[in-house]
Amino acid sequence: MEQWSDNRRFGEFNTRKLYRSGYRCKGCTTFAGALITQPNVLVANISGTDETALNANNGTATVAPTGGTPAYTYLWSTGATTQSVSNLAPGTHTVTVTDANGCTSIESVVVEPFICDLEALANATDADCNGGNDGTATATPLDGTGPYTYSWSNGQTAQTAINLVAGTYTVTITDSKGCTAGASTIVEEPTAIIPNASATSQTTFGVNNGTATVTPTGGTNPYTYLWSNAATTKQLQV
């Protein structure tokens, strides 16, 4: 009896290939079939998450391989050998997945850096009097992520700085993601009040028709008056 095989493929379905072989013996031929299979293509299927705060370096990446032949091994560009990696800095991270047959699939994912969107505004209320210290300055955060902290150029740390004399004040706002933004505002004060007093004398002794008058400048209108004799008018007759 003679065994032979012509290795001719006579059937193919998806990834399966069928070959024929047979035996000869005095006028008869017998065939036997062999089914050869191969696994599906190995695909790494990588995914990731971006950085969630400024300079946090907390991106993640993971792979969920399909195809190939389990079990799988992993090698990341960071040197890690786990299926998932964390604490990734922004940038491109690559993984090589290897299956039990030594087949490989290489994929990359980009971890995007956190982008700050915090802005700051500041506004002031002026001191009531020249040389006064009752001005205020208030900071207002725009966008960003609360809670916020505040640092004023005079050392105060509340959202509103108080008891301010005239001058320029700067605030730095920091949000919960580590983003910062700054703004400045000016506390102003009125000019000093000058009474500008004047007087006229009596025209005749004992007539009491003299006057005393003030014409103030500076400060903030309206004005009130208080004379040494308790009078409260702008002009006093004496």
> pLDDT tens, 134-190?
999 999 999 999 999 999 999 999 999 999 999 999 999 999 999 999 999 999 999
Does some domain include residue 202? Answer: yes
pTM above 0.75, yes or no: no
Q: Are residues 177 and 130 in the same domain?
A: yes
Using pLDDT thresholds of 50, 70 and 90, give the confidence band for residue 238: confident
Is the same domain home to 59 and 25? no
- Does a structural domain hold residue 41? no
Euclidean distance between CA atoms 21 and 6, whole angstroms:
6
Classify residue 72: in a domain, yes or no. yes
- Note down the domain range covering 97: 46-111
The β-bridge relationship of strands 167-174 and 180-187 is antiparallel
Span 64-108, pLDDT tens digits: 999 999 999 999 999 999 999 999 999 999 999 999 999 999 999
Judgement on whether residues 172 and 132 belong to the same structural domain of the protein: yes
Q: Which residues pair with 29 in a beta bridge?
A: 24
Phi/psi for 215 (5° steps) reads: -130, 80
Residue 165 — φ and ψ, nearest 5°? -85, 170
Residue type at 222?
Answer: P
Looking at the structure, tell me whether residues 182 and 217 fall in a common domain.
no
Structural domain count, the chain: 4
Q: Establish if 15 belongs to a structural domain.
A: yes
